[in-house]
Amino acid sequence: MSRFAPLPAPPYYAVIFTAQRSDGDHGYDAMSAQMVEMAEQQPGYIGAESTRDSAGLGITVSYWKDEASLVAWKDVAQHLLAQKLGKTRWYEHYTLRVAKVERAYDGPEGR
């Protein structure tokens, strides 16, 4: 399965989540898998790209059809996180940015 998200014609939305994991799992892997499964069932979900290095710094970018679909996802995600009470244990620090994709392409050319 490709680890790249689809490239629909812009505009659409990106949620850029950068996070430094804390040490230890504390249920993180199970939550993370559940989160992906739930996102895939949400209306307006386009796809996501995610990676994390050995020092625990991860970036996940999820893509959404429009503002309404990402706001709906935010409610679902926050509800799940609140249930798990894990946010402060899983992450030393994170930033979340919502951005409107204006243009996009892929490469390398001539592939």
Residues binding a second copy (CB under 8 A) = 3-5, 7, 14, 16, 18, 20, 49-54, 57-59, 61, 87-88, 91, 93-111
Which residue, 17 or 42, is less far from a second copy as judged by CB? 17
- Beta-sheet strand order (sheet of 45-52): 12-21, 57-64, 45-52
- Among residues 86, 76, 74, the alpha carbon closest in space to that of 17 is found at 74
Q: State the nearest-atom distance from the C-beta of 98 to a second copy, in Å.
A: 5
Closest separation in Å from C-beta 42 to a second copy: 19
Cα–Cα distance, 78 to 61 (Å, whole number): 17
The residue among 41 and 54 lying less far from a second copy, judged by its C-beta, is: 54
Residues 6+ apart with CB under 8 A from 57: 18, 19, 20, 21
Q: Which residue has the tokens 């993180």?
A: 28
Please state the closest distance from residue 92 (CB atom) to a second copy, in A: 9
Q: Which is nearer to a second copy, 7 or 76 (CB)?
A: 7
